[in-house]
Amino acid sequence: MCGYYTHGGIFYEEKDIALIILDVMMPKMDGWQVCREIRKKSNCPIIMITAKGETFDKVLGLELGAEGVDFAKTWIGPFGTIFMNMIKMIIVPLVFSSLVIGVCSLGDIKKIGRIGGKTMAYYLGTTAFAIVLGIFLGTVLEPGAGVNMPGEGVKAAAKAAPPIMQVIIDIFPTNAMEAMLKANMLQIIVFSLFMGIGITAVGDRAKTLYNVFDGLAEVSYKIVGFIMNVAPIGVFGLITPVVAANGPAVLLPLLKVVIAVYLGCFLHAVIVYGGLLKFVGKISPVKFFKAILPAQVLSFTSCSSGGTLPVSMQCIQKLGVSKDISSFVLPLGATINMDGTAVYQGVCALFIAQIYGVDLTTGQYLTIVLTGTLASIGTAGVPGAGFIMLTMILTAIGLPLEGSALIAGIDRILDMPRTCVNVTGDATVAYLVDKSEKSNIEEPLY
Ligand code: ASP
């Protein structure tokens, strides 16, 4: 590595990377000019570090003055826009197909009757609690407080609440295709519910249609996977112009979001699952959590409840839960029961409302709970699915989707605890349902 003085600055150059250090003693330093000089010699990546007490935004954009901000907006921002467009592109087919499939899987309730009813009551009840917990933490910890997300067209003032009867009327579409064209989430959900129930009721003759939705859901998730592969570039494109124009303060609340989601997941597992296991399941929660630890570790690292399913089955059967029950309750849970995701959605919806300075109305809170609970049915047990469903909630309550871009950058970190809670919830419900079916559950094998 060798050092040079240039225009009052120092830069170090190695074969692979150039490091520019701006010093307090060099007030006239022009970091961008140094960059250009390095560029003449080599194409290596350049890291610029400032010791001048300058803010990150200056290094990123303002060394060229206003021109830097313009550059970020004109040339970097579009990558973010393209990323968001791709996400918006997939929301409607994804939500529609996965909800239909989710509802169809409830068709088993008819066959399994009582077990299905109990399972659903646990699943929906705990999910609703989870999303309320998320909203509560988002309100108390205020991760987005004091941060204003600037930009034209994003002043998403809370919509004046329409009369409650109108809200109810409006969730029933007069034209299902129009609901999809306009991406009206509540109407799409209602239509999906009818479609799923219809397919289940028709049975065999609708098998082809079921397969079409199943295929569409799979393909949509694949596309989500492709889109999430370029998330780092998209997020860079979305965040850089904002930071260049407004300073790094806009990034700090993300730490609070992480804390809120982890805390929410922890509290949900301890209070809800711990309480249910102790008082309803009559088993020590510590013993239970120890027994399913392999599934928890795998879900935390893989971020996929679907992928963790075989391990969850194994763990829960070792605890004495019958094969019949675990093979119904766990796969159903991996498809429709997402309590960790619900906590995350509650926190993130509040965070985004806060950064845009939107005061949510009671109706909007109820919409978050309702769409969040339904979204959990449509969230597949694959990495990143909850993030896409978050955009559905934002659309339902009229918040700008662009806000979710900040979340996209840290979504993997948030996916880990929420998937772990999703899996823990499925296992807990399997244990409770089994316990209620046979009052004398077999002794655990270890
Ligand atoms: N990754 C989660 C799961 O597999 C779903 C989500 O993204 O929230 O359960």
pLDDT digits (tens, 9 = 90+) for 361-372: 888 899 889 888
The pLDDT of 307-324, averaged and rounded, is 81
Instruction: List phi, psi (to 5°) of 281.
Output: -80, -15
DSSP 180-239: HHTT-HHHHHHHHHHHHHHHHHHGGGGHHHHHHHHHHHHHHHHHHHHHHHTHHHHHHHHH
Give residue-wise pLDDT tens across range 155-171: 444 444 455 566 678 77
Distance between CA atoms of 13 and 246, rounded to whole angstroms?
A: 31
Q: Which atom of ligand 1 is nearest to the CA of 341?
A: 8
- Check residues 375 and 274 and name the one with the higher pLDDT: 274
Look up residue 346 and give its two tokens: 């509650």
Q: How many CA atoms lie within 13 A of 433 on its CB side?
A: 29
User: Distances in Å between the alpha carbon of 181 and those of 65, 272, 354?
Assistant: 42, 39, 28
Residue written as token pair 């570039």: 233
CA of 265 to the centre of ligand 1 (A): 13
The tokens of 21 are what?
A: 């250090």
Most confident of 123-132, 227-236, 324-333, 406-415: 123-132
Q: How confident is the model at residue 383 (pLDDT cuts 50, 70, 90)?
A: confident
DSSP string, 62-97: GGGTHHHHHHIIIIIHHHHHHHHHHHHHHHHHHHHH
Q: Which atom of ligand 1 is nearest to the CA of 381?
A: 4
Residue 40 has pLDDT above 50, yes or no: yes
What confidence score (pLDDT) does residue 167 get? 62
Tokens in use for 151? 């930009």
The residue nearest atom 8 of ligand 1, judged by CA position, is 386
Structure tokens at 95: 């939500």
User: In the prediction, which pLDDT does 148 show?
Assistant: 64
Window from 49-63, 139-153, 182-196 with minimum mean pLDDT: 49-63
> For residue 303, which atom of ligand 1 is closest to its CA?
1
Say yes or no to pLDDT of 64 above 50.
Answer: no
Could you tell me the distance, in angstroms and rounded to a whole number, from the CA of residue 200 to the centre of ligand 1? 26
pLDDT for 419: 93
Give the separation between CA 225 and CA 412, rounded to whole angstroms: 13
| Residue ID of nearest Cα to ligand 1 atom 1 | 383
Measure 301 CA to ligand 1 centroid, in angstroms: 12
CB 83 within 8 A of CB 227: yes
**Which residue did the predictor score with more confidence, 108 or 90?**
90
pLDDT category of residue 96 using cuts at 50, 70 and 90: confident
pLDDT at res. 43: 56
Which of 344, 382, 424 to probe ligand 1 with, by most ligand atoms within 8 A of CB?
382
Q: Which whole number is the average pLDDT over 55-82?
A: 64
Q: Which of 155, 152, 203, 194 is nearest to 171 (CA)?
A: 194
- Rounded to whole angstroms, the Cα distance separating 137 from 258 reads 11
Ligand 1 pocket (Cβ < 6 Å) reads: 303-305, 338, 341, 379, 381-386, 415, 418-419, 422
Q: What is the pLDDT of residue 424?
A: 97
Cβ atoms 390, 344 nearer than 8 A = yes
Cα 122 to ligand 1 centre (Å): 19
Name the residue at shortest CA distance from atom 6 of ligand 1.
386
Instruction: For residue 2, list its beta bridge partners.
Output: 13
The pLDDT of 23-52, averaged and rounded, is 54
Report pLDDT digits (tens) over 208-266: 999 999 999 889 878 877 876 777 787 778 777 767 766 666 566 688 899 999 999 99
Residue 265's SS3 state is: helix
Q: With bands split at pLDDT 50, 70 and 90, how would you rate the model's confidence at 53?
A: very low
